[in-house]
Chains A and B, each alone.
Chain A
Amino acid sequence: MKGVEGSTRPAYAAYHDWFRQQDPDRLTKKSLDAEAFFRRTGITFNVYGQAEAQERLIPFDLVPRILAQREWSKLAKGIEQRVAAINAFLHDIYNRQEILRAGRVPKDLIANNEAFLPQMVGFSPPGQVYTHIVGTDIVRTGEGDFFVLEDNARTPSGVSYMLENRETMLQMFPELFSKIKVQPVSDYPKNLRRSLAACAPAGAGPKPTIAVLTPGIYNSAYFEHSFLADQMGAELVEGHDLRVVDGHIAMRTTQGYKQIDVLYRRVDDEFLDPLTFNPDSMLGVPGIMDIYRAGNITIANAPGSGIADDKAIYSYMPDIVEFYTGEKAILKNVETWRCGEPEALKYVLDNLKDLVVKEVHGSGGYGMLVGPAASKKELEAFREKLVAKPGNYIAQPTLSLSTVPIFCESELAPRHVDLRPFVLVSPQGINIVPGGLTRVALTEGSLVVNSSQGGGTKDTWVLED
């Protein structure tokens, strides 16, 4: 709510007025109600690496994060530019590789990258769309100063929380929404369906069949998979529901096999097709890559899209945006040291306690060092890992992230946040839902917002003008 200079951001003014009139006890009770609601409806996620497959709630904070339309439209323009560039980059990397020939991105970065899938070379997916769904992680450091932290081009998750958070807010505080005009997010499932349908293969007919592929009920994001399938009116399938029938991928129904035209898969590339990739995978669909290459199914996101959100590629994003759009990148990149480069490594080792170091292929906040928060021992342990495999890491400065208020022990307290807007791409255009998922580091001073590391979420409002 406070701007960088300590003043209240104008977008919060109306909410602030409302908040001052509220009884803190009532808000505390509402907060507990929300938790009970989430638990009852099963909006949970499973945590990896714990003894039992335990289901946890992502803590929900009832104070919305509020953006003015003016701030949002600048952000949205930047995201659109970036996502368009990512798609052009993917098509280029898997076809002519002009950007490598031009020397703007080093060849080795692609060649040695596990996310690069040779099986995609010389192939154009239906509609030439690679990243049907993108979740771009954005942070803000000052007034209008937005940085992109990560481009999630594989299978970004969290959109169900965005929708449920809004739904919860509407139920808890209906009066707020009549006072303050907030842009709706509830069209997302409809838009997702439309966007995926627009990417169907040429032979699919006017009403393509869409299905969501999940690894199953023990996957950490299963709630989201079933939620999206439900909201889109699509079947939720697992690998063993599918097989190759008459040149297509088809799902086993009570009345026989039925062709699928678009598969929104939430299974990683490696496990997608045991006939082509990891032969031990039980989660995938044997033969789907053959059907895909023959042009008989759309896979969203396209296999191999991960090469675009790789943390080492990230540092080249300003060049990539410029190369394909001919414009300067609207959104800033966080300064990044590629530890594989000797000079960068030296700098990183010398300044480890001030930096955030990430694994190039990691995700979800695992395998990450936050220098200022690390103990001496942790720093030393990480230093060894860095020296052993410098190419595996990148480092970034710790940004002075902006804070927004959360409701904590009956009053407001500042916490660091990021924002993940959700972007849909189809041949008809790029569609960004106004707002997105705001993740908040609930521990005072913490910069880690990942739900697997104790982060929470809150509703995100983009005000109408």
Chain B
Amino acid sequence: MQLSITHTTRYTYDEPVHYALQKVRLIPRDSSQQRIADWHVEINGGQREVSYHDQHGNVTDLVSADIGVTEITITASGRVETFDTAGVLGQVYGAVPLWHYCQPTPLTKPGEGIVALAQDLKGAGDQLAALHALSAKIAETVKYGTGQTYAATDAEAALAGGQGVCQDHAHILIAAARSAGVPARYVSGYLMMDDRVDQDATHAWAEAHVAHLGWVGFDVSNGQCPDERYVRIAVGRDYREAAPISGLRHGAGDESMIVSLQVQQ
């Protein structure tokens, strides 16, 4: 499937910016699931300081705001050809050893709830089936809904709260998989919802590592494995390592952010 994507993130500030940095991970890479036909990231109101590959292989840009601006716009756009692999990314590995994806992070630290959730996965004969079951169970326990959780909500808290967004679903699955000894990671990316061009926000899902298959994606929120409507942008152990944009700003005044995202065939 050929997808056309335009993803604009606009930060506006009450007062001229003194100094601000954004860590930007918005460049998708080729894989068994996607081929990048054409892609560029444009920055208005700031400049790219450096660009490098992080430990997970994500192309990362460090962007600084121009002094005195009141608005920065980061626009990623291009065309990506996607393939339906039934969610299987495969046995592709980077510099980070597999065991590292078993290490908990502050956002994916398991508590009692997560440990209980992971019981069936632990030592399961059919890992893949058990992961599907886990995904379904999370979707059932934690209803999709905004407003209950925020960017810094950890997996255990989201599970206990019973409601969350795709980020929380992914964190819960990752935390549970890890606590059962299965390597798992966070993926941020785009999803073309069938019924609309304008999407609400960037999407997130989880990938778990299954013996003989390699990495397999699980989108808890939509109850499916990523297919040709999905585009992977960045991976990490959790949201903090894979967030498309994360930043830091010095100075007074309020900041607001508006995201607009169009994904279409």
Contact = CB atoms under 8 A, between A and B. Distances in A.
Contacts of A95: 95
A293 interface: yes
Interface size class, chain B: 20 to 34
A111 interface: yes
Contact of B55 (A111, A120, A294, A295): A120
Contact of A111 (B49, B50, B94, B100): B100
Contact of B64 (A121, A244, A295): A244
Interface residues of A, number: 28
Contacts of A293: 52-54, 60
Most buried by B among A100, A244, A295: A244
Contacts of B94: 122
Interface string B21-38: 101000000000000000
Nearest to B48: A247
B55 A121 contact: yes
B30 to A, nearest CB: 18
Contacts of A279: 248
Interface string A88-128: 00000001010010000001000110000011111100000
A409 interface: no
Contacts of B119: none
A122 B93 CA distance: 12
B44 interface: no
B95 A111 contact: no
Interface in A250-286: 274-276, 279, 286
A296 B99 CA distance: 30
B251 interface: no
B248 A286 contact: yes
Contacts of B19: 243
Given A244-B64, A275-B21, A290-B62, A122 B49 contact: no
Contact of B52 (A118, A120, A290): A290
A107 B50 contact: no
B51 A111 contact: no
A358 to B, nearest CB: 24
Given A275-B23, A290-B60, A246 B96 contact: no
Contact of A118 (B23, B55, B62): B55
Chain A CB within 10 Å, residue with most, of B50, B54, B57: B50
A286 B49 contact: no
B55 A287 contact: no
A290 B58 CA distance: 12
A244 B96 contact: no
Contacts of A244: 21, 49, 62, 64
Nearest to B94: A122
B176 interface: no
A291 interface: yes
Given A244-B62, A275-B248, A290-B52, A122 B96 contact: yes
A117 to B, nearest CB: 9
A121 B49 contact: no
Contacts of A97: 97
B102 interface: yes
A290 B49 contact: yes
A107 B99 CA distance: 9
B99 A291 contact: no
A118 B51 CA distance: 18
B134 to A, nearest CB: 23
A111 B178 CA distance: 13
Interface string B46-89: 00011111110100101010000000000000000000000000
Interface in A182-202: none
Nearest to B104: A112
B199 interface: no
Interface in B84-124: 94-97, 99-100, 102-103
B49 A274 contact: no
A291 B62 contact: yes
Contacts of B246: 275
A291 B60 CA distance: 11
Interface in A146-190: none
B181 to A, nearest CB: 12
A118 B50 contact: no
A111 B103 contact: yes
B18 to A, nearest CB: 10
Given A123-B55, A244-B64, A291-B62, A274 B96 contact: no
A280 to B, nearest CB: 11
Interface of B: 19, 21, 23, 49-55, 57, 60, 62, 64, 94-97, 99-100, 102-103, 237, 246-248
7 contacts: A97-B97, A111-B100, A275-B247, A286-B248, A287-B62, A290-B23, A290-B62
Interface of A: 95, 97, 100, 107, 111-112, 118-123, 243-244, 246-247, 274-276, 279, 286-287, 290-291, 293-296
CB-based closest 7 A-B pairs:
A122-B95, A294-B50, A290-B62, A121-B55, A294-B52, A293-B52, A247-B49
Given A122-B95, A290-B52, A294-B62, 17 more contacts: A95-B95, A111-B100, A118-B96, A119-B55, A121-B55, A121-B95, A121-B96, A122-B55, A122-B94, A244-B62, A246-B49, A274-B248, A286-B21, A290-B49, A291-B62, A294-B50, A294-B51
